[in-house]
Amino acid sequence: MLSAEMILGAIKLVSTLVNMGVGTAQHADGSTLTQEQVDAAYAKADAPFKRIEDRSQAELDKLNKG
């Protein structure tokens, strides 16, 4: 049986997928990109992985303490 949280998670997944198509080709037009824009895109890409890393580390810490 799926819980409300799991259904909500699945909806978020689909929502992210739908939004995905919008941003992909934005920089393919040859417009000039500054290093700052590259750095900003890097920071955005890194953010979810940083959160995943922190969350996984916290889960492992909980297991090790328990």
Distances (CA, A) of 37 to 28, 42, 51: 14, 9, 22
- Residues within window 21-40 making contact with another protein, judged by CB under 8 A: 23-30, 32-33, 35, 37-39
Number of residues engaging another protein in binding (CB under 8 A): 45
Phi-psi domain of 26 (left: phi exceeds 0; alpha: psi -120 through 50; beta: other): alpha
With beta carbons less than 8 A apart as the criterion, state whether 33 and 27 touch. Answer: yes
Distance in Å, CB of 31 to another protein, minimum: 8
Q: Which residues bind another protein (CB under 8 A)?
A: 2-3, 5-6, 9-10, 12-14, 16-17, 19-20, 23-30, 32-33, 35, 37-39, 41-42, 44-53, 55-57, 59-60, 63
